[in-house]
Structure 1
């Protein structure tokens, strides 16, 4: 049923989906006190509270563009993408040392891997959906062409490392809360957030460069501007220092278009079995 709905919606122009999404964003914001509180609190903590009205609309666009991104003909989807700084990627590909792409929940993060996979085979880590009904939609839509999926398991990590050592690129969402034992506490916009250590480990074990990427949503459904930025933060020696360096890089990316970050995500939650740091209740 859900797959059918997404396919029906995918025939609509992106501009129409974004317009509907803007209205949906306000509807969800007004209808859900918990969603409203988290969105406002997270934006205020980061110093972007003045972008709240835009963020409400962008959150709705993020949902309604998924049928287009996942189910529309790939040529139609790719025609909405403009690219900035691909030379950074091409130089790394030519060096055949692998690439660790880091893509935060910023803008249309679903389209970044799809585009890269049209230029080179790409393996991305993903967390399988808890609801089985979503599995055919999400996995089928994401695994297009040369885009391959590696589950967030030990076998998936081994797959990623193998790809890097063979000179291929991988993709990771670095601001996703990891499972028990797979992260450390590191500040994110001034508050400790349980942060994955995997990107730094992949970088160290393979020698592959890190490249940051995000797709900024353009106004009035005009498409997306896909940007590639070299990672230049000093890593440090400890896992905590490395996680903080990656969080700093994410903060700088988010500051470029703060209204398009996924502020409603429970970034500060305390995973089961992990002790909360002082001052963090994990309820935001």
Structure 2
């Protein structure tokens, strides 16, 4: 039954995503407007995150940025439905520019293993499809709470075929990714997801302590794999369709440091630098600061708001 419902959802999404790009983008704008009008979770979380990350902004400026974040987020939902349900070769035509692909090719050729750190910036599903067009890889992901949601994800990413292995972020993932990197393989990790309590290290993110994954740093330090940051950044809208620039950049060497405080600080600094390129394209609707440092006396900033 789970598979049947997921397949039905996929068919509905496929039909919906056949609307013209201009319609989908306007619908995304309408979703953002509804979030603001209703004071939805997305609007509240974005406002709190921007207050924490950009305390120097005036309230009117933060409200303006919040509207931009919600507008981008609403559009991304509709963009992603289309990307999930259309042939990947067609989707990749949305890449108007590519930067740093020589770094990616060199890392593949080295045979040392490659970790692609993909922050929640721009459209990471388009990035997944570009990566799969170049090489087999494993993607670490946190499964949705719903079994139907996870079955749906497995369907929408099936177009990649056997080139992508989806690895659940569980205890056995470390061993699986370790073996893959030691064999010269490629691993994709979202570096800015909050890990479970006890599974990370607190490090500054926009000046605020945030529980940060140590998995990426431990894999990099112990396998000697190359670490590259990659993202698909929105750059224009042409003929009604969004356009993206693929950007691949080297990671700071401190990311693989044996000292996890140093490594996680370097990881967050790299993600922050990317997010500051265009704050509207970063996923500020995610509760990044839920867990607080032990003994700090700080409360979850999202409670009762």
Deviation of residue 122 (structure 1)? Answer: 1.1
- Quote how far apart the aligned CAs of 1:55 are: 1.3
Give the stretch that moved more between structures: 84-93 or 151-160.
151-160
Is the aligned partner of 1:138 residue 2:153?
yes
Report if aligned partners of 2:10, 2:155 keep a CA contact under 8 Å in 1. Answer: no
Q: Computing the radius of gyration over CA atoms, which structure comes out larger, 1 or 2?
A: 2
The equivalences for 1:6-21 within 5 A come to: 6-21=13-28
Is it true that 1:227 corresponds to 2:247 in the alignment? yes
Aligned to 2:145, the other structure's residue is in SS state coil
**1:193-234 Cα distance to aligned partner (Å, 9 max, x none):** 111101101101110111001111233333221110101253
Residue aligning to 2:88: 74
Q: Given the two structures, how large is their TM-score scaled by the length of structure 1?
A: 0.92
CA distance in 2, matches of 1:233, 1:249: 11
1:193 counterpart = 2:200? no
Q: Specify whether residues 226 and 234 from structure 1 end up closer, same or farther in structure 2 by C-alpha distance, changes over 3 A only.
A: same
Q: Determine if contact 1:114/1:147 at 8 Å carries over to the other structure.
A: no
Looking at structure 1, the residues matched to 148 and 40 of structure 2 have their Cα atoms a distance apart, in angstroms, of: 27
Inter-partner Cα distance in structure 2 for 1:244 and 1:88:
23
Matched residue, 2:142: 127
Q: Is the 8 A contact 2:95 2:246 kept in 1?
A: yes
Question: In the alignment, which residue of structure 1 is the partner of 2:197?
Answer: 180
1:34, distance to aligned residue in structure 2 (A) = 4.1
The 3-state SS of whatever aligns with 1:250 is helix
| Aligned position for 1:211 | 228
Q: Which of residues 104, 107, 123 in structure 1 aligns to 2:119?
A: 104
Q: Is the 8 A contact 1:188 1:247 kept in 2?
A: yes
**Alpha-carbon distance in 1 for matches of 2:145, 2:40:** 24
Distance 2:286 2:296 in 1: 21
Comparing 43-52 with 2-11, greater Cα deviation is found at: 43-52
Cα distance in 2, alignment partners of residues 125 and 33 from structure 1: 29
Q: Distance in 2 between matches of 1:3 and 1:194?
A: 34
| Partner residue, 1:91 | 106
Structure 2 gaps of 5+ residues are 1-7
Please report how far the alpha carbon of residue 275 of structure 1 lies from its aligned counterpart in structure 2 after TM superposition. 6.0
RMSD: 1.9
Consecutive unaligned residues in structure 1, runs of 5 or more: none
Is the 8 Å Cα contact of residues 21 and 60 (structure 1) preserved in structure 2? yes
Report the CA distance between 1:15 and its aligned residue: 3.7
Report if the CA contact (8 A) 2:43-2:66 is conserved: no
2:278 aligns with one of 257, 264, 277: 257
**Matches of 1:30 and 1:77, distance apart in 2:** 32
Determine the structure 2 residue equivalent to 1:162: 179
Count residues in correspondence: 281
